[in-house]
């Protein structure tokens, strides 16, 4: 197992700057953000220009990672592959294929994304759509030696009423999506707030957990008694603010990281545990984000066998 980090939390730094800092901070791998860089969300970082990515770019990227002694664990493009707007969906699929092409050129085994959802229609419609969409994407990736991995994020902010916007949030849905040829980028933070014990999900799905993200979740005392499980309804200006929980860096929330890492080892996980920093207390400036990443490293490094 290697300890890595997702580069998306530092969108204003170049990949070269992040690689240099990550090595100094003790990280061993990078999960590289590969959005097109045109989105409105802060985490939509474009650290790898996959459009027109060729042999020269691949050589330069490999040389950068070799120079810093880092592994490139996965490319990251977490978007809604079932977007209700047909034109937007086509754009997302086209960029996902470009990310797959870049991964193949770099000999990176995984590309991370979301299943997503058409939030204008019932869940059953999106499940049917996914069964049409994903086999083609999986085949495209497979022909290039790449696996598509799905993060089990709820993406409740994508739904106008705060319901799940990514149909990959529960073990029931994992088992369904595995049938489409997809793998799992397992993240315990999302399981924590939806009431699923993260540790109990590892052993039954170990053969499909090929990459993992390290993000924590803090339940704010007493708040769920006011808002209920679905969160704020009257004054929810930010669609991501439920009012009763928040993401934290590992070691600052409810996740039992000793138990998580132990279970991953017990079930044969040999991939990268990649810190995904979305902690609001350690965000807002580059220095604060880097401090959060250092806290995460301090929490997880002692648990990982050298």
Instruction: Give pLDDT, residue 254.
Output: 97
Mean pLDDT over 208-232 rounds to: 95
| Cβ atoms of 295 and 282 closer than 8 Å | yes
Q: Is the dihedral of CA 263, 265, 270, 276 positive or negative?
A: positive
CATH number of 164's domain: 3.20.20.150
Total structural domains within the chain:
1
Instruction: Give pLDDT, residue 236.
Output: 87
- Does position 142 have pLDDT exceeding 80, yes or no? yes
Instruction: Give pLDDT, residue 255.
Output: 98
DSSP assignment letter at 221: T
Instruction: Give pLDDT, residue 42.
Output: 52
Query: In this structure, is residue 225 part of a structural domain?
Result: no
- Does position 148 have pLDDT exceeding 90, yes or no? yes
Query: In this structure, is residue 198 part of a structural domain?
Result: yes
pLDDT tens digits for range 1-15: 999 999 999 999 999
**Range of the structural domain that residue 35 is part of:** 2-215+253-303
Instruction: Give pLDDT, residue 144.
Output: 98
User: CA-CA distance, 57 to 31, in Å (whole number)?
Assistant: 17
Instruction: Give pLDDT, residue 235.
Output: 87
- Which residue has 């770099």 as its token pair? 106
Query: In this structure, is residue 248 part of a structural domain?
Result: no
Instruction: Give pLDDT, residue 38.
Output: 53
Query: In this structure, is residue 221 part of a structural domain?
Result: no
pLDDT tens digits for range 28-54: 999 999 999 754 455 578 999 998 899
- Going by C-alpha positions, the residue among 95, 93, 19 that lies closest to residue 61 is 19
Query: In this structure, is residue 232 part of a structural domain?
Result: no
The count of residues in the chain is 306
Mean pLDDT over 74-100 rounds to: 98
User: CA-CA distance, 92 to 260, in Å (whole number)?
Assistant: 33
Query: In this structure, is residue 40 part of a structural domain?
Result: yes
Categorize the per-residue pLDDT at 273 as very low, low, confident or very high, splitting at 50, 70 and 90. Answer: very high
User: CA-CA distance, 229 to 232, in Å (whole number)?
Assistant: 9
Mean pLDDT over 195-208 rounds to: 98
Answering whether pTM is above 0.85, one says yes
SS3 (DSSP) at 68? helix
Q: What percent of the chain has pLDDT over 70?
A: 98
Across all residues in the chain, what is the average pLDDT?
96
- Joined together, the tokens standing for residue 43 give 């985490």
Instruction: Give pLDDT, residue 202.
Output: 98
Categorize the per-residue pLDDT at 95 as very low, low, confident or very high, splitting at 50, 70 and 90. Answer: very high
Instruction: Give pLDDT, residue 43.
Output: 56
- Joined together, the tokens standing for residue 207 give 């053969």
What is the 3 state secondary structure string of 144-176?
Answer: CCCEEEEECCCCHHHCCCCCCCCCCCCHHHHHH
| Cβ atoms of 132 and 96 closer than 8 Å | no
Mean pLDDT over 167-184 rounds to: 98
Query: In this structure, is residue 194 part of a structural domain?
Result: yes
SS3 (DSSP) at 299? helix
Q: At what angle do helices 86-106 and 55-68 cross, to 10 degrees?
A: 60
Query: In this structure, is residue 242 part of a structural domain?
Result: no
Q: What percent of the chain has pLDDT over 90?
A: 94
């Amino acid at each position: 197992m290697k300890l890595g980090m997702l580069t998306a939390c530092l969108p204003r730094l170049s990949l070269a700057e992040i690689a240099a800092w990550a090595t100094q901070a003790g990280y061993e791998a990078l999960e590289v953000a590969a959005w097109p860089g045109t989105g409105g969300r802060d985490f939509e970082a474009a650290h790898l220009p996959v459009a027109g990515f060729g042999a020269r770019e691949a050589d330069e990227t490999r040389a950068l990672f070799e120079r810093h002694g880092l592994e490139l664990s996965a490319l990251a493009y977490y978007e809604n592959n079932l977007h209700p707007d047909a034109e937007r969906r086509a754009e997302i699929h086209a960029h996902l294929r470009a990310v797959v092409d870049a991964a193949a050129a770099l000999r990176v085994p995984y590309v991370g994304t979301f299943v997503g959802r058409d939030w204008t229609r019932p869940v059953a419609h999106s499940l049917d759509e996914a069964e049409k969409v994903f086999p083609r994407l999986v085949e495209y990736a497979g022909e290039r030696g790449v696996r598509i991995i799905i993060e089990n994020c709820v993406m409740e902010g994508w739904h106008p009423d705060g319901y799940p916007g990514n149909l990959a949030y529960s073990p029931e849905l994992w088992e369904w999506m595995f049938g489409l040829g997809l793998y799992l980028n397992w993240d315990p933070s999302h399981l924590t707030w939806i009431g699923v014990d993260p540790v109990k999900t590892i052993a039954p799905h170990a053969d499909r957990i090929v990459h993992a993200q390290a993000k924590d979740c803090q339940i704010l005392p007493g708040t769920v008694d006011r808002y209920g499980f679905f969160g704020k309804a009257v004054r929810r200006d930010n669609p991501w603010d439920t009012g009763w929980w928040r993401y934290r860096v590992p070691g600052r929330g409810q996740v039992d990281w000793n138990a998580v890492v132990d279970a991953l080892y017990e079930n044969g996980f040999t991939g990268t545990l990649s810190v995904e920093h979305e902690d609001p207390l350690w965000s807002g400036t580059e220095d604060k984000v880097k401090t959060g990443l250092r806290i995460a490293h301090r929490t997880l490094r002692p648990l990982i066998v050298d």
